[in-house]
């Protein structure tokens, strides 16, 4: 075998390990019986150790080295795989193996402790884990990128090239620009949310999910749907993608928008380049790019008046209790805006404020300005200051998200950035696609095709920032996002 053949065989093997681990994890969070976690954990540990060994072995290093020495003669995909793999390998090899294993154990334990802490509103049991995880992350940053600030490194892990400097400006601009709109919404008469309170039986909601997935043009022979407490999307390969949702009879709109959001993630995963299905150049580019897709479908498409008009007769056929509402009333209810406690339930306007709070607190944890002990008080203070809400307990406050228990410091900004990316993609797409017209007809073919060409099939062939700039036809400009939000909410509440 040539070095190139060996590389592709390796990529295929790693994809297979990922596939197997992904199925086990998916099974664990969907249909596995309750006492099977320990057994599954052992199998997962074995598979992840094998996969780690393959990706860091001397043999792999030799293959990558040989290919990178002849980089000019390589085709673009092979060249890219070598770059991505070497970059990963370099990072991992700078972290001592025993510390890496210790950290993995800490994360496993921490996730378990967080679940219990959240259920029992017992922050104190979880607090020591935050301090330990932050300390590990800072130490790893100093090993891998001693030249870089530790929190910048945390950001860079999820979004190559993203820094505090960029984000500080981005969030400051949002706060200043959106302040009048926020003030308007807070002082306006609240919109009537009664369409959201109609009951929809669970079996009807399952049919509704199928309908929504059909509207998004998801290929159901490759994209499945399951049920979990927290909705998510997972992709074993581009040929097998799963989304999940959470049903509640009293909150049909919650599952409805989860399905559209996760459906956006699934469209991306299932439409990456088929030629790169079994190598890392085909992977989705980053979490912010991912969120730009999910939040585009959920909000820009799914919460538009055109979408509501198109959906309304179908929705009413499934749920006759909704027949008494006009399209406008449904549209306003789906876009009801108010400051709230829980990030995942926040509307588009206030969503970024939840992210800003987490971002500010993460920065301060990393500089050591605060420790886990002060975190709940600081959290509550910021919710009062940024959103004007009183946090009644830690369960609905600092314990609400799973990210910190999993060591995902630096991840939250992806959500806000993704939302802003989505708004600029929308503006750009509108130049060549009749978005409103197509949505009102219920035909998303052109919209999907535009994203397929400009985002999905590029995979990881370029850095996330480059992909976005190419799709935008210029630099990232957050004013598309603020203008979109201002226009939308000032119309609804003005
Ligand atoms: Zn998402």
Ligand 1 center to 15 CA (angstroms): 22
Residue 453 has a pLDDT of 98
pLDDT at 174 over 90: yes
Ligand 1 center to 259 CA (angstroms): 11
Residue 114 lies in a domain: no
Ligand 1 center to 61 CA (angstroms): 34
pLDDT at 335 over 90: yes
CB neighbour class for 25 (10 Å; exposed up to 12, middle 13-18, buried from 19): middle
Ligand 1 center to 233 CA (angstroms): 8
List the single range of 40-44, 205-209, 280-284, 400-404 with lowest mean pLDDT: 40-44
**Proportion of the chain above pLDDT 70, given as a percent:** 100
The answer to whether residues 12 and 54 touch, using CB atoms and an 8 Å cutoff, is no
Residue 107 has a pLDDT of 87
pLDDT at 29 over 90: no
Give me the number of domains the chain comprises.
2
Pick from 129, 2, 138, 17: nearest CA to 70: 2
Residue 494 has a pLDDT of 87
**Proportion of the chain above pLDDT 90, given as a percent:** 88
Predicted confidence (pLDDT) per residue in 38-59, tens digit: 888 889 888 988 998 898 899 9
Residue 156 has a pLDDT of 94
Residue 370 has a pLDDT of 98
pLDDT at 432 over 90: yes
Are residues 33 and 173 located together in one domain of the fold?
no
Which structure tokens are listed for 133? Answer: 């995880």
Residue 111 lies in a domain: no
Does residue 39 or residue 206 have the better pLDDT? 206
List the single range of 107-111, 231-235, 467-471 with lowest mean pLDDT: 107-111
Q: Is 249 in the active site?
A: no
The answer to whether residues 342 and 399 touch, using CB atoms and an 8 Å cutoff, is no
- For the segment 134-155, the average pLDDT, to the nearest whole number, is 97
Q: If you count DSSP H runs as helices and E runs as strands, how many of each does the chain have, helices first? A: 20, 3
Alpha carbon dihedral 65, 68, 74, 75, in 10-degree steps, equals 100
Predicted confidence (pLDDT) per residue in 106-141, tens digit: 887 888 899 899 999 999 999 999 999 999 999 999
Task: Spell 75-84 as b/e; 16+ CB within 10 A means b.
Answer: eebbbbbbbb
Packed helices 464-472 and 445-454: angle between N→C axes, nearest 10 degrees: 130
Residue 117 lies in a domain: no
Ligand 1 center to 484 CA (angstroms): 20
Are residues 46 and 144 located together in one domain of the fold?
no
Residue 354 lies in a domain: yes
Place 470 in a pLDDT band, splitting at 50, 70 and 90: very high
Are residues 85 and 222 located together in one domain of the fold?
no
Ligand 1 center to 65 CA (angstroms): 36
Residue 479 lies in a domain: yes
State residue 342 phi and psi, 5-degree precision: -105, 125
Predicted confidence (pLDDT) per residue in 387-418, tens digit: 999 999 999 999 999 899 989 999 999 999 99
Residue 170 lies in a domain: yes
Ligand 1 center to 96 CA (angstroms): 32
Ligand 1 center to 264 CA (angstroms): 8
pLDDT at 37 over 90: no
The answer to whether residues 7 and 78 touch, using CB atoms and an 8 Å cutoff, is yes
Pick from 17, 7, 87: nearest CA to 52: 17
Residue 279 has a pLDDT of 98
Packed helices 252-270 and 445-454: angle between N→C axes, nearest 10 degrees: 50
Residue 102 has a pLDDT of 87
DSSP character string of 106-131:
HHHHHHHHHHHHHHHT-HHHHHHHHH
Residue 41 has a pLDDT of 83
Ligand 1 center to 294 CA (angstroms): 6
Residue 99 lies in a domain: no
pLDDT at 222 over 90: yes
DSSP conformational letter for 234:
E
Are residues 72 and 207 located together in one domain of the fold?
no
pTM of the prediction? 0.94
Are residues 62 and 141 located together in one domain of the fold?
no
- Choice among 159, 262, 269, 362 that is catalytic: 262
Does residue 92 or residue 439 have the better pLDDT? 439
State residue 276 phi and psi, 5-degree precision: -110, 30
Are residues 177 and 319 located together in one domain of the fold?
yes
Are residues 69 and 175 located together in one domain of the fold?
no
Assign residue 217 a region: left if phi > 0, alpha if psi is -120 to 50, beta otherwise?
Answer: left
DSSP conformational letter for 189:
P
Pick from 240, 227, 261: nearest CA to 22: 240
- For the segment 166-182, the average pLDDT, to the nearest whole number, is 96
Ligand 1 center to 369 CA (angstroms): 30
Are residues 147 and 233 located together in one domain of the fold?
yes
Ligand 1 center to 251 CA (angstroms): 19
Residue 111 has a pLDDT of 83
Are residues 75 and 174 located together in one domain of the fold?
no
Predicted confidence (pLDDT) per residue in 242-268, tens digit: 999 999 999 999 999 999 999 999 999
Range of the domain at 63: 3-93
Sign of CA dihedral 469, 475, 480, 481: positive
DSSP conformational letter for 386:
I
Ligand 1 center to 2 CA (angstroms): 40
Are residues 83 and 134 located together in one domain of the fold?
no
Are residues 348 and 488 located together in one domain of the fold?
yes
Q: Pairing between strand 233-237 and 223-227?
A: unpaired
- Residue 425 sits in a domain whose CATH number is 1.10.1370.30
DSSP character string of 237-253:
ETTEEEEEE---TT-HH
- Residue 285's Cβ-side half-sphere holds a number of Cα atoms within 13 Å equal to 25
Give the Cα separation of 360 and 455 in Å (integer): 30
> Which residue is listed with tokens 């954990």?
41
Residue 115 has a pLDDT of 87
Residue 382 has a pLDDT of 98
Which structure tokens are listed for 151? Answer: 């929190």
Pick from 203, 297, 198: nearest CA to 257: 297
pLDDT at 463 over 90: yes
Ligand 1 center to 228 CA (angstroms): 15
Give the Cα separation of 22 and 44 in Å (integer): 9
List C-alpha distances in Å: 81 to 68, 89, 193, 340. 10, 12, 50, 43
Ligand 1 center to 25 CA (angstroms): 18
């Amino acid at each position: 075998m040539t070095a190139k053949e060996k590389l592709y065989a390796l990529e295929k093997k790693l994809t297979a390990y990922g596939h197997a681990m992904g199925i086990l994890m998916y099974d664990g969070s969907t249909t596995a019986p309750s006492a099977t976690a320990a057994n599954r954990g052992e199998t997962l540990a074995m598979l992840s150790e094998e996969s780690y060994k393959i990706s860091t072995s001397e043999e792999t290093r030799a293959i990558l080295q040989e290919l990178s020495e002849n980089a000019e003669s390589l085709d673009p995909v092979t060249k890219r795989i070598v770059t991505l793999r070497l970059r990963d390998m370099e990072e991992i090899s700078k972290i001592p193996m025993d510390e890496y294993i210790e950290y993995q154990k800490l994360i496993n334990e921490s996730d378990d402790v967080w679940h219990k802490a959240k259920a029992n509103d017992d922050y104190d049991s979880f607090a020591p884990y935050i301090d330990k995880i932050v300390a590990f992350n800072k130490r790893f940053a100093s090993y891998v990128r001693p030249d870089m600030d530790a929190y910048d490194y945390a950001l860079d892990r999820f979004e190559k090239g993203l820094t505090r400097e960029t984000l500080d400006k981005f969030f400051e601009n949002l706060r200043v620009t959106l302040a009048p709109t926020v003030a308007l919404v807070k002082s306006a008469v609240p919109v009537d949310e009664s369409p959201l309170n109609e009951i929809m039986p669970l079996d009807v909601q399952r049919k509704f999910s199928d309908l929504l997935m059909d509207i998004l043009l998801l290929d159901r022979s490759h994209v499945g749907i399951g049920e979990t407490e927290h909705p998510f999307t997972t992709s074993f390969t581009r040929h097998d993608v799963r989304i999940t949702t959470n049903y509640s009879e009293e909150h049909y709109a919650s599952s409805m928008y989860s399905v559209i959001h996760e459906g956006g993630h699934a469209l991306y995963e299932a439409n990456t380049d088929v030629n790169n299905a079994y190598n890392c150049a085909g992977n989705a580019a980053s979490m912010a790019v991912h969120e730009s897709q999910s939040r585009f479908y959920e909000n820009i498409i799914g919460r538009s008046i055109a979408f509501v008009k198109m959906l309304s007769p179908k929705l009413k056929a499934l749920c006759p209790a909704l027949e008494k509402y006009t399209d406008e009333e449904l549209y306003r209810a789906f876009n009801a805006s108010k400051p709230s406690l829980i990030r995942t339930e926040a509307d588009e306007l206030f969503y970024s404020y939840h992210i800003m709070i987490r971002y500010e607190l993460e920065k301060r944890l990393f500089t050591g300005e605060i420790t886990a002990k002060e975190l709940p008080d600081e959290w509550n203070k910021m919710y009062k200051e940024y959103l004007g809400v009183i946090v009644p307990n830690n369960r609905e406050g600092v314990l609400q998200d799973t990210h910190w228990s999993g060591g995902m410091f630096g991840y939250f900004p992806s959500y806000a950035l993704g939302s802003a990316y989505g708004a600029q993609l929308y503006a750009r797409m509108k130049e060549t696609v009749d978005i409103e017209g197509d949505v009102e007809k219920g035909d998303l073919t052109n919209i999907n095709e535009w994203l397929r060409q400009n985002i999905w099939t590029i995979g990881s062939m370029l850095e996330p920032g480059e992909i976005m700039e190419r799709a935008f036809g210029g630099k990232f400009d957050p004013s598309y996002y603020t203008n979109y939000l201002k226009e939308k909410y000032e119309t609804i509440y003005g």
